Amino acid sequence: MLTVIRDYIRTQLSRGLSRNTLKAYESDLLQLHDFLQRYFEDQQIDLHQVKRIFLRDFLRHLSNSERSNRSLARKSTTIRNFFNFCEQNGIITDNPAVGLKIPKFEKKLPKHFTEEEMVQLLDIPDQTSKFGIRNKAIMELIYSSGLRISEVADLSLNRLDMDRKLVKVVGKGNKERIVPFGKRAYQALENYLKQRESFLGTQINNTLFLSKSGRTLSPDELREILDRYIRLVARTGGYSPHTLRHSFATHMLARGADLRAVQEMLGHSNLSTTEIYTHLSLKDIKKIYSQAHPRSEKKD
């Protein structure tokens, strides 16, 4: 089974999935392998003999371990896709995952900063320091264009069109999209580009955002940099660099942006993924109501 798992993961590489997604798939299947081993004792797992009840027992075991429905849903999908792969490649004849139910789960509303909190956050980087200038440019661009951290890390100079205030992004599945950025991001980027050469030294690097030694900043390094600022503004736990992207989408939609336009800018394949941002707080709803409804109790 371990060999088949490795073969399956290799086939997923061609789909352009992220490294983290592939690691999650592999982890799910290795976890299943360890669980199934109990049915085969000291022998190798025979995929022909894996029964649907074994898979149900696995999901029940995970459920009893207080796994969230979201986690169970992902693992169920991984298992079904894996056994579909086995059937399509003649490794098994009877597919035990057919009819395996995927637990339903509620989508959690992503946390986002208020507009006022975003102003505070973007004002934190020290503009007398080249590092502060760089970090402000990174945050302004993410908030202005809704980019993922991995997309920011991958940006090269030739993908930035300062004249038209556009950035060309390579997102999930190697899909390209062009996203605009605003005046504040433009100014922050212009300030950084004046300092960028001081990061390079004698190196040649076409990546937009550089480390102090002129290297390309990795996604993890970017997260670490942004986390330091976010902790100064976040009121509770659960906020991360990805919160800037959530804030972009939430604020755009709250101010009347078209849902499909936001979908395009975020690089979402499905509109349903973007719809999670259409929430408004009760305070916002009451404010809009009092301003808009002719029979509300607003004063002239």
CB atoms inside a 10 Å sphere around CB 223: 17
The kind and range of the H/E element at 179 are: strand 176-180
What's the predicted TM-score (pTM) here?
Answer: 0.62
Structure tokens at 236: 């509770």
Give the mean pLDDT per block of 10 residues along the chain (300 residues): 90 78 90 89 86 88 72 87 92 89 64 90 95 96 92 93 92 84 94 92 85 91 94 84 89 83 82 66 57 60
DSSP strand pairing (160-161 vs 176-180): unpaired
From residue 227, give the alpha-carbon distance in Å to each of 59, 117, 139, 144.
35, 15, 11, 18
User: What is the SS3 assignment for 270?
Assistant: coil
All domains in the chain, ordered by first residue: 2-88 (1.10.150), 115-285 (1.10.443.10)
Residues known to be catalytic: 148, 172, 242, 245, 268, 277
The pLDDT score that the predictor gives to residue 73 is 82
For residue 180, list its beta bridge partners.
166
How far is it, in rounded angstroms, from Cα 36 to Cα 270?
Answer: 35
The pLDDT score that the predictor gives to residue 256 is 81
Q: Determine phi and psi for 263, rounding to 5 degrees.
A: -55, -45
